[in-house]
Copies of this chain bind each other. A is one copy, B any other.
């Protein structure tokens, strides 16, 4: 299926960036080269590049060219710099551990978000993870995914230990947007245990609803963060 016009250019360039054929810092072929290559006028090529720029995949510099910025920024929440360390510019390694493997369950009652009848009847895939820094638990996360067209999700291991990479590579699902709500709460007994802190400590609660490239397919998650030593960036 050949596509027409600027959309073809856009998709091809996008794929090359996502796949890693172009990496951050690379220059795309110039507008004139792309023009000849695709048999389209320079203005049409510019139309295509404009959108890539808006998505943040490339930036552009007059006189230089179109610079690849890398893959779409994901919705990673944990700042890679600690609240105290942020001044010193230290980088910190974050580990992710699956504490409850994905399995299919019924949605819990009084779920925070409104669910469609289709979502409810399909049940949901549930799993939970903790994120640690220097073996110290910083974040506890519980994720709910509607069990619609997710056949292999529970049986196959995660890709790169990452939910987003797993969704993209195994299920062609891309995250396209997010609604997230923040609250400061006191730690419940369960959360306090998971985060190795005392019950009643101030905890950052984040409720998220992630939109995807599948219409009407959302992913829900609830996060509980100990922000004593690290902040959450959003």
Contacts and interface: CB of A to CB of B under 8 A. Distances in A.
The 7 closest A-B pairs by CB, nearest first: A181-B231, A183-B227, A184-B204, A184-B184, A202-B202, A184-B202, A182-B232
Nearest to A53: B54
Nearest to A224: B184
A122 B62 CA distance: 32
Contacts of A79: 181
Given A54-B54, A87-B114, A203 B184 contact: yes
A204 B83 CA distance: 15
A148 interface: no
A232 B205 CA distance: 11
Interface residues of A, number: 25
A207 B231 contact: yes
Given A184-B185, A184-B205, 11 more contacts: A50-B50, A54-B54, A83-B181, A180-B234, A181-B231, A182-B204, A182-B227, A182-B232, A183-B227, A183-B232, A202-B203
Interface string A191-234: 00000000000111101000000000000000001010001111
A207 to B, nearest CB: 7
Nearest to A229: B183
9 contacts: A179-B233, A182-B204, A183-B204, A183-B227, A184-B184, A184-B203, A184-B204, A202-B203, A207-B231
Given A79-B181, A87-B114, A184-B225, A204 B207 contact: no
B114 A181 contact: no
A128 to B, nearest CB: 20
